[in-house]
Amino acid sequence: MSNVPRFWRNLKRRYNLIGTKCLNCNELYFPPRQLCPKCRRASKIEDVQLKGRGEVLTYTIIHSAPKRFEGQTPYIMAIIQLEEGPKLTAQIVDCDPTEIDIGMKVEMVFRRIQEDGDAGLIYYGYKFRPIAN
Amino acid sequence: MKLEGVGIVGYGVYIPRYRIKVEEIAKIWGGDAKSISNGLKIFEKAVADYDEDAATIAVEAARNAVRMASIDPKDIGAIYVGSESHPYTVKPTATIVAEAIGASPELTAADYEFACKAGTAGIQTCMGLVASNIIKYGLAIGSDTAQGAPGDALEYTASSGGVAYIIGKDKLIASIEGTYSYTTDTPDFWRKEGQPYPRHGGRFTGAPAFFKHVYNASIGLMESLNLKPQDFDYAVFHQPNGKFPRKVAKMLGFTIEQIEEGILVDKIGNTYSGSSLMGLAAVLDKAESGERIMLTSFGSGAGSDSFSILVEEGIKKIRGKVPSVEDYIKRKKYLDYATYAKLRRKIKVIS
């Protein structure tokens, strides 16, 4: 149960891909930053809603998963470059390990990330899936 | 009840990618696939992935509805999520949806339960709130990952999917001319606290349950609005299988042409709270302005909500903005029974 407040604090960005923008240098960040590492004291940080579309920069197939993810193996984890620029790591769903490719266009979906046992909280958040043509 | 000026501003659907065929289920339980397919008029059903549930499906459908309607989610003043498979017994699904579409915090939200008609109950609540100017827009969702006990007849049909409707007064793509409900205490299907699968009354789910309620609600609607079956271009009924909606349509005097467009159960199964609303979405994907649609849901327990819906000019502007019902139906991958049993958590693992 100790994870509940920590999860709740990050809930908005995990549900909706909300990053930050430094108005001083126009750099976008995800996960959100409270301070721009380039501008430091001159940082002017504002929340930004990211569109949730991007492409796969690289990926790996997980066969040996952490305890709570064992039921999903083999699954794909990818580094995705969002259209707006920031890069993030996320699971790719609705895609077989044989179908994934570098450069694949993907979009955000809302899924269960993990569950705190049978009686605990369900943690929801973003994953990505191939954009259907 | 006759209404003016209230209707649908946008809608969105979501059907998971996986399917399982009747043959695959019948093979495991020694059923005769051909006679089941012919009897129930169903070939395959949609199956949610391991990381999907009624909340994730509701969010995907709601995001599509908001994108179609092109409204500011902050203008949504009420969210009702109807489901018989809410992920939590205590903890609303509606708050998850509200946060995930950016509608929080100035709104009212609640979860509804009324077997397969909880979604249309949500639409009626939103209609009332919109008509009385308490809210600008209301979001009503029917979303389920329905469970049938392994080997039970329900397992061939109980499927996963969801539909979201935004109800409002402006930018209407279809207006709701009126609604009529018919409700009695009829125990045809139930699930008690702590039980993993529902129980049902077998043949008792037919005449005293589905047919009585759908028939009376549809007749009541037509009488209250002074309309006849011939006045409708389409009719959509709850579809627990392919046989029931066709039979009730005939009893009411509708033709096969009027109902075929809205019957999806053969391709995706019974999505429970999403079932009749998904049929309506498939009809709205094709309908032209000026056409009239009857929608009658059914929820075991039991009750039916019937609606008369008139398609407006605005429908042209929203076509193609979000994936259609057909787009989701086409996107599919077949599962074997063992993988299906794992994804639907029918196999108990130590957590």
Out of B56, B87, B102, closest to residue A111 by CB: B56
The pLDDT tens digits for B67-82 are 999 999 999 999 999 9
Pair A44, A70 in one domain:
no
* 8 Å CB contact of A110 and B63: yes
Pair B191, B338 in one domain:
no
Closest alpha carbon within chain B to A91: B51
Q: Which chain A residues touch B342 with a CB distance below 8 Å?
A: 71
Domain annotation covers residue B115: yes
To which H or E segment does residue B77 belong?
Answer: strand B76-82
Assign B2 to helix, strand or coil.
strand
Mean pLDDT (whole number) for B241-251: 97
Q: Which chain B residues touch A12 with a CB distance below 8 Å?
A: 99
* 8 Å CB contact of B50 and A72: yes
pLDDT bracket for residue B112 (50, 70, 90): very high
C-alpha distances (whole Å) from B299 to each of B43, B62, B143, B258, B264 are: 23, 22, 14, 22, 18
Pair B270, B334 in one domain:
no
Determine the distance in angstroms separating the CA of A109 from the nearest CA of chain B, rounded to an integer. Answer: 7
pLDDT bracket for residue A68 (50, 70, 90): confident
The pLDDT tens digits for B149-206 are 999 999 999 999 999 999 999 999 999 999 999 999 999 999 999 899 999 988 899 9
Q: Which tokens go with B294?
A: 């009857």
Mean pLDDT (whole number) for A5-34: 94
- CATH classification of the domain holding A91: 2.40.50.840
Which of A50, A65, A80 delimits the end of a domain?
Answer: A50
* 8 Å CB contact of A127 and B51: yes
Mean pLDDT (whole number) for B299-304: 97
Pair A46, A82 in one domain:
no
Determine the distance in angstroms separating the CA of B342 from the nearest CA of chain A, rounded to an integer. Answer: 8
pLDDT of residue A1: 47
Mean pLDDT (whole number) for B206-214: 96
Pair B182, B306 in one domain:
yes
Mean pLDDT (whole number) for B311-335: 96
Out of B50, B56, B331, closest to residue A110 by CB: B56
Pair B231, B219 in one domain:
yes
Assign B320 to helix, strand or coil.
coil
pLDDT of residue B203: 87
Out of B51, B99, B327, closest to residue A12 by CB: B99
Kindly report the number of other CB atoms within 10 A of residue B157's CB atom.
25
Q: How many domains does chain B have?
A: 2
Amino acid found at B273: S
* 8 Å CB contact of A110 and B49: no
Pair B11, B152 in one domain:
yes
Out of A15, A71, A117, closest to residue B99 by CB: A15
pLDDT of residue A67: 86
Alpha helices per DSSP H over chain A: 4-9, 11-16
* 8 Å CB contact of B327 and A132: yes
Q: Which domain holds residue A126?
A: 52-133
Q: At what angle do helices B243-252 and B212-225 cross, to 10 degrees?
A: 40
Please name every residue paired with A129 in a beta bridge, in sequence order, or none if there are none: A107
Domain annotation covers residue B80: yes
Which residue from B148, B246, B241, B250 is spatially nearest to B203, judged by alpha carbons? B241
Question: Looking at the predicted structure, is the pLDDT value of residue B35 above 60?
Answer: yes
* CA neighbours closer than 13 Å in the CB half-sphere of residue A61: 11
Instruction: State how far the Cα of B193 lies from the Cα of B190, in Å rounded to an integer.
Output: 10
B100 at interface of A, judged by CB pairs closer than 8 A: yes
Cβ atoms of B59 and B96 within 8 Å: the answer is yes
Question: Looking at the predicted structure, is the pLDDT value of residue A3 above 90?
Answer: no
pLDDT of residue A132: 76
* 8 Å CB contact of A132 and B323: yes
Pair A80, A117 in one domain:
yes
Q: At what angle do helices B118-131 and B275-284 cross, to 10 degrees?
A: 60
**Higher pLDDT, residue B350 or B134:** B134
pLDDT of residue B1: 60
- CATH classification of the domain holding B226: 3.40.47.10
Cβ atoms of B11 and B66 within 8 Å: the answer is no
Instruction: State how far the Cα of B173 lies from the Cα of B313, in Å rounded to an integer.
Output: 7
Pair B225, B336 in one domain:
no
Q: How many domains does chain A have?
A: 2
Task: Establish, for the pair of chains A and B, how many residue pairs have beta carbons separated by less than 8 Å.
Answer: 51
Instruction: State how far the Cα of B69 lies from the Cα of B11, in Å rounded to an integer.
Output: 7
Pair A57, A116 in one domain:
yes
Kindly report the number of other CB atoms within 10 A of residue A53's CB atom.
16
| Distance linking the first and last C-alpha atoms of chain B | 51
pLDDT bracket for residue B106 (50, 70, 90): very high
Pair A65, A32 in one domain:
no
Kindly report the number of other CB atoms within 10 A of residue B38's CB atom.
12
Mean pLDDT (whole number) for A27-37: 94
pLDDT of residue B225: 97
pLDDT bracket for residue A133 (50, 70, 90): low
Q: Best interface-test mutation with A: which of B18, B51, B97 has the largest number of A CBs within 10 A?
A: B51
Determine the distance in angstroms separating the CA of B218 from the nearest CA of chain A, rounded to an integer. Answer: 36
Backbone φ and ψ for A54, nearest 5 degrees, come out as: -175, -165
Q: Which domain holds residue B220?
A: 177-315
Least confident of A115-129, B118-132, B158-172: A115-129
Domain annotation covers residue B222: yes
Question: Looking at the predicted structure, is the pLDDT value of residue B350 above 80?
Answer: no
B96 at interface of A, judged by CB pairs closer than 8 A: yes
* 8 Å CB contact of A113 and B349: no
